[in-house]
């Protein structure tokens, strides 16, 4: 697996909003795959890699997507507070 690249902090806020409101998201990955799932939470591993935890509607299955594998997220909810957000290439710069 490639070295983890932390997501830009400003963009991380969109993920937190999506989780807080339980938005259904269209998730686009940098490998070209897409799917629809409910935003549940974010998680940081002991290795400092960050993940978006997504679930299906019955709550029986969850999947974790490493944040630097996300291309974009789009809330499906018509009342969402934001539209499509491109995440790929927007990494946190530390100095």
Full set of structural domains in the chain with CATH: 9-86 (2.30.30.400)
Please, which residues have CB within 8 angstroms of residue 34's CB and are 6 or more apart in sequence?
A: 26, 27, 28
Per-residue model confidence (pLDDT) at position 71: 94
- Over residues 1-22, the pLDDT tens digits come to 578 888 888 888 999 999 999 9
Count Cβ atoms below 10 Å from residue 20 Cβ, excluding itself.
11
User: Global pTM?
Assistant: 0.86
- Over residues 44-53, the pLDDT tens digits come to 999 999 999 9
Looking at per-residue confidence, does 58 or 22 come out higher? 22
Per-residue model confidence (pLDDT) at position 95: 40
Listed residue (79, 80, 43) closest to 63, CA to CA: 43
């Amino acid at each position: 697996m490639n070295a983890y690249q932390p997501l830009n902090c400003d963009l991380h806020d969109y993920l937190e909003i999506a989780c807080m409101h339980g938005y259904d998201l269209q998730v686009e990955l940098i490998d070209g795959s897409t799917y629809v799932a409910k935003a549940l939470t974010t998680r940081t591993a002991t290795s400092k890699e960050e993940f978006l935890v997504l679930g299906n509607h019955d709550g029986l299955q969850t999947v974790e997507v490493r944040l630097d594998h996300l291309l974009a997220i789009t809330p499906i909810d018509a009342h969402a507070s934001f539209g499509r957000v491109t995440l790929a290439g927007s990494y946190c710069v530390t100095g």
